[in-house]
Structure formats: structure tokens, C-alpha cells
A and B are shown apart, each in its own frame.
Chain A
């Protein structure tokens, strides 16, 4: 199966690989997937006092499409408000990276990672966790 140029670019030059201090109150961490399934994503956001995401980092165990999906997600998250970030849909990632049907689950995982990181941030800051639709993959 051939990868799209954008997937290859993100794979070769992943944006924002790294780790934020998960102990900090303004950092939200999402860890989704499972090693048994062949993909695990950890996505972290750092939020300023105006609810703007100033930094985002990821680490991913998975195929090229999973790495590209999380790399792209961190790019999109930076500069968005937390509320705006919630509107990122997995199909946007599918479209941007031209993922084939068999790789759609990678984009779903990235969306889950974003929402999970936001929820972690909300709970840390005394906000109720958002009801997330049950993982649909």
C-alpha cells in the first residue's frame, strides 16, 4: 500500500515530538490505544490563562499513518482555543492526509487523543469532564 506524500512527510519530519510535564496544572495529557492493537498515542497540550493552546506534543507507537495523524493533530492544536480544539474531527485528518479506509482508525485515535487530553486538562482545573462519545472503532 502506498502512503500519501503528506503521510510520508509527517513520518519523516514529525512535528512536535516530545513530552510536556504532565504534573503541571495547565498541561492536559491523553493516552489512547493499546499495545496489543498495534497503536498507542500520547498527546499533550499546554494551555494559557486565556484558554489558548500554546504548545502541543505527541509520541506515538504505531504505523506511519498513526504517527502522521498525531503529528498533524499537534500542528492543528497549537494556537487554537480549547473549545475550538474540540471541534477537530477525525474526518478532517483523513482528508488532509488522504488516508485510505483501512487507516481511518488512526485518525479516530488522534481525535480521541485530543479529547482525552482536553478532558485531563479540564478535570485538573476543576471543570467537569465532557461526555465523550464512546470510542467508535
Chain B
């Protein structure tokens, strides 16, 4: 039995796994203690639960439980990592290297750093969405303190060459931070093997709750420190004050434990569904996958259907919940900056849909989505003057469009 709309926007957020909710429930009810209360059982239970979650998380990403700093989510983790390093290492330098396809939580934080007098280099990506390692190395100066490159992109799923990036960072004595929000829990992430110094991730992208995330901060080789961005009780080794969100932390821990146990089986099943949908939708004339298909997360595909506009298309596929690179609703009317950074023309960026799959997606849902999208594209192309011109062999670039 299908229930509508079908949720295929799992890169925006994932549903909470019922097993995660079960783990959380006691901490929403009778185990309500403050993990910082050292003098009674309520506090001890809460602290125990938090410590256990730290272990579950550390086990997934191969670090020490002491290297996990809990936050409210990946945006806070990104802010803490970048601003915290900028402040802590101010005597060493003021230059940060990042990329144009980063999440806004990184890009806007870097903009803030620039206002504070820092220097930021924004690396371009190629048409696959990958940065150029040579350009990265050439961008490093004696003032460079941080390289901030995401593990995997949220719009197209492209995975950056993390090991190679960290090797370059290490060679030049620069810290390496990665926003791994889309990667942790979905693909194997190992901070030791990957050579990561700081890493941001969040609960709600891996079947955990919203409002909780973490920042991994390396303690050895090298020992990394970040300046706290909130003043208060000195929680989390002084790096992030604020009463711990015990319920959320327990949920994040459980989500990590499940991810570790089930990742391999989930990936096999989910990537097969993704590949099937992609293959079917690419049988539609003039449709294209955006970004690398070799270096990509297993649970996402981003496809442009030329000559139909993404927002109009989303209205036509109302039985499925997806997202579009068209930003027709935004005041700027600018399409996705990520797709544009990949070199897509504005019209192709406007024509894109992102499909994100989860552990709960079924084959039946995928079948329905395929037929639904095919129908909607066909219907909208019947209505599209651009499609008609294309079919008549008119070069759309030869027309003088009235830009508005």
C-alpha cells in the first residue's frame, strides 16, 4: 500500500527510526536528569547515557569518545569549527581554504570570517563537482590555518577526495575540517584513515532526531582546540557550553549504532533503488545526471530534465516529495549555486530535481515515482515552448531573450 506523498527528499532530512525513538523515550520522560548534576542519581543516569552515546558515535567514525563535542546540529558544528579555529590559531595565521559548493553554513561562516579580517580562498570545482588537488595545494600560504572541504555534497552527492586532501593539509601543517553531514551514517567515515582533524555531522540526516549534532575535534597528532563560541558553564571540555540535550544525544548515539550495523546492507538496497530510478529516468530524452556518478553517495541522484522548469515540475509530481535546483520561490530567482558551480547553464539548473532515498524507501515507491516523473515531464514538455523549438531544430542560444 502506497501512502502519499512519497518521501524522496532524504538529503534534506530523514525520518526518525522507530528504534531511535524507543531509545530516546526514557530520557523524554522519567530519566530527565541534567548530565552535569554530579550529586544525585538523576544526573548520573543522564551522564551515563551521554557517555554511552559518545561511545556509539566514536565507534562509527573510529575516534575516541573524548573527541566528540555535542552541538545543536551541523550548522553549529560548522560555525564552531571554522570560527573556533580562526580565533584559536590567530597567532599562526588568518587564511582559510574552502570550496564554492560548500553548504551555506560553511560559506556564510567564511563570509563572516572575511568581515573579521580573515582571508578566504574559495576553490572552484570541475563539472563533476570535484575540487582540483593541485589548486588546493597552490592556495596554501604560510598564513593558512584551515582547509574546510565537505565530505559529500548535499545537492548532488559528490564525494570529495578526502584522503588526498588531508594528506596535503598534513604536509603543510594545516588543519583539515570536513562538513560530513551527508556522509556520516551513509558511507564509511573513519577519521583516522581519512586524516580528519575536525568533522561536523548531525542526527537528523541519519534517522536520528533534529536539534542534535556533533563536532569531532582531534586530541592527538595534532591536538586540536577551538575557541568556544558561546560562553557559559564550560561543558564539552570548555568548547561548547550549554546543558546537554540528553534525549537528542541518546538518539544520535542510537542512530550511529544502527548505521554501523546496517550501513552495508542498507547501501546495497538503497543504491540499487537509486540506480534503477536513475536508469529509468535517463531514458527520458534530454535528461542528464548532475555531478560525478563515480564519486557519489549511494542514496541520491540529481537529474535535469531539459526544457521543463523545476518548480513547475515539482508541482506536477505532487505525489512525491523531492527538491529542485530551481529557486523560483526565492526572491533572487537564482537557481542553485551548487549546480552553477558545476558549470550548468541557468536553464539546466532550473530544470533539476534531487531524489534522495532512505532505509525506509520501498521498491513500490520507486516504481511509482518513475512513472509519475515520466508523465509529468511529458505533460510539461507538451506545454513548453522551448521543447517545441528544440524539436523544430531551433538553437535556443540563437534567440535574443529578453532578460528580466
Contacts and interface: CB of A to CB of B under 8 A. Distances in A.
Contacts of A34: 401-404
Interface in A16-46: 17, 19, 31-42
B98 to A, nearest CB: 27
Contacts of A79: none
Q: Chain B interface: which size bin?
A: 20 to 34
Nearest to A8: B315
Contact of B404 (A31, A33, A64): A33
A24 B228 CA distance: 72
Contact of B403 (A8, A36, A64, A105): A36
Contacts of B84: none
Contacts, number: 97
B350 interface: yes
- Could you say which interface size class chain A belongs to? 20 to 34
A53 interface: no
A105 B388 contact: no
B317 to A, nearest CB: 12
Nearest to B350: A38
Q: Which of B326, B387, B396, B402 has the most CB of A within 10 A?
A: B402
Contacts of A67: 312, 383
Contact of A63 (B312, B387, B402): B312
A17 B308 CA distance: 15
Give the residue among B307, B333, B387 with the most A Cβ atoms within 10 A: B333
Interface string A112-137: 10000000000000000000000101
Interface string B351-391: 00000000000000000000000000000001111111000
A137 B333 CA distance: 12
A1 B383 contact: no
Given A38-B350, A64-B311, A135 B404 contact: yes
Contact of A137 (B316, B385, B404): B404
Interface string B313-335: 00110000000001011110101
How would you classify the secondary structure of chain A's contact residues: helix, strand, loop or mixed? mixed
A42 B401 contact: no
Nearest to B316: A11
Nearest to B345: A36
Contact of A40 (B310, B311, B386): B386
B311 A63 contact: yes
Nearest to B307: A61
B4 to A, nearest CB: 16
Contacts of B346: 35-38
A34 to B, nearest CB: 3
Given A36-B403, A38-B350, A105-B404, A61 B385 contact: yes
Contacts of A11: 312, 315-316
A105 B311 CA distance: 15
Contacts of B102: none
24 contacts: A1-B329, A31-B385, A31-B399, A33-B402, A35-B346, A35-B396, A35-B401, A36-B345, A37-B333, A38-B309, A38-B335, A38-B347, A39-B328, A40-B401, A60-B383, A60-B385, A61-B309, A61-B383, A62-B328, A63-B309, A63-B328, A64-B312, A67-B383, A135-B402
Given A1-B329, A102-B331, 6 more contacts: A35-B345, A35-B346, A35-B350, A36-B345, A38-B347, A60-B383
Interface of A: 1, 3, 8, 11, 14, 17, 19, 31-42, 59-64, 66-67, 102, 105, 109, 112, 135, 137
